[in-house]
Structures are given as C-alpha cells and as structure tokens.
A and B are shown apart, each in its own frame.
Chain A
Amino acid sequence: EYNIYNHDEL
C-alpha cells in the first residue's frame, strides 16, 4: 500500500 505521506513526486 502506497504510503501517502512520503510524497515521492516533485
């Protein structure tokens, strides 16, 4: 499940 808090996008 993608952890929404570590925003990996710029």
Chain B
Amino acid sequence: MNIFRLSGDVCHLIAIIILFLKIWRSKSCAGISGKSQVLFALVFTTRYLDLFTSYISAYNTVMKVVYLLLAYSTVGLIFFRFRNSYDSESDSFRVEFLLVPVAGLSFLENYAFTPLEILWTFSIYLESVAILPQLFMITKTGEAESITAHYLLFLGLYRALYLANWLWRFHTEGFYDQIAVVSGVVQTIFYCDFFYLYFTRVLRGSGKMSLP
C-alpha cells in the first residue's frame, strides 16, 4: 500500500458517498445517469467476486463490501425510491455499445482464461468507460449541479491517483499490471475535458457547471 493508492481509494469512497448523500438528501436523482451507476455496480460485482475466494487484508475486504453496498444502494435510490425524478429521457446512452466490446475484449485480452480472471478483466475494461453515460447526459442537458461536478472530480482523481500508484509500484517493486494501467489511462483521459471545465467554471463559484 502506498500514499497514492490510499488517497485514490479515499477519493473513490468520497465520490461514492457524495453521490449517495446528494440523492438521499435532495430526494432526487435529477441529472444523474442511472446507467452509469448500474455499470459501476456491475464493475464492483464482477471485480470483487474474489471476496469469496481469497483474503488479502481487512482493509481490502471492508472497502470492497462498502463499495458494493453503496453502489447497489445508489442504484436502488435511482431506480426505485426516487425513480420519479430519474430523467430517463436524458440518460439515453446506448450501454450495449459499451458492454459488447468490453465483454469481447475481456475474452481476447486477459491474463488467464479462467472465469474469475475474465470477469476481473471485464470489470477493468468496463470501469474505464462506465462514466460515459453520465458525461454524455451532462453534455446533453448542457449543465450539471456543482455537487455532481464534485462527484465527478473525486471519481476522476481516484484513477489518476492509481496511475501514480502504478508508477510508484513499478519504480519500487517492479509491479506492472498492463491491463489495469492501460484501462486506467483511458479512463482518466475521459475525465480531462471535465477537469478543465471543473477548474475553469465550477471553482469560479458559478454554482452550476454549464457546458459551452
């Protein structure tokens, strides 16, 4: 464990908590892509099956359980409890265009052709594109509440910090997980445009982040 990875995990947890609390307290999921949240729940489900097969550390186990609980709770809030505020019109990204290529690639490019390993690979590839429905929804509505922007900021920072973690681990222990690194770079690149908007608009205190 190193500071980059720990702060990455903390950012990830903060992002997930920000989103959950935003929906819970405002009793509305307006502006939130339910599709992205379903994809994230799928990412955690396919990645954390090793909860039942291998024990790494208390931290690892606790964080996986917390991520799974919050992810499914958020999906539950969006599609059940506050479903009347779910803007399915704007959340129109065709997720099959993500799922099919990601599933295909995870069968072609993986470390081992075993069920757990292919599911892990699927989750890595899927995570790199899971935010696209949310980013697409924001470009479609043309704006995002600043709380949603903060959520995206922490979510983008988390994987960027993981890139630093992989640099550090490569430098200190020769660790190199090519699938995770390449996907992490792609994932972070998708946030670059948002980061620019965030630091030029949201931080100007304009309340909402309105896209050009």
Contacts and interface: CB of A to CB of B under 8 A. Distances in A.
B173 A2 contact: yes
- Contact residues on B (Cβ < 8 Å of other chain), bracket: 20 to 34
B7 to A, nearest CB: 13
B180 interface: yes
Contacts of B12: 10
The A contact surface, by secondary structure, is loop
Interface in B128-155: none
B111 A5 contact: yes
Contact of A7 (B5, B9, B120): B120
Interface string A1-10: 0101111111
B177 A8 contact: no
Contacts of B67: 10
A8 B67 CA distance: 15
A4 B169 CA distance: 13
B58 interface: no
A6 B177 CA distance: 11
A4 B121 CA distance: 12
Interface string B1-22: 0000100010010000000000
B87 interface: no
Contact of B180 (A2, A6, A9): A9
B54 A2 contact: no
B206 to A, nearest CB: 34
A9 B54 contact: no
B108 interface: no
Given A2-B175, A4-B111, A10 B120 contact: no
A10 B111 contact: no
Interface of B: 5, 9, 12, 47, 50, 54, 56-57, 60, 63-64, 67, 111-112, 117, 120, 162, 165, 173-175, 177, 180
6 contacts: A2-B174, A5-B111, A6-B56, A8-B60, A9-B162, A10-B60
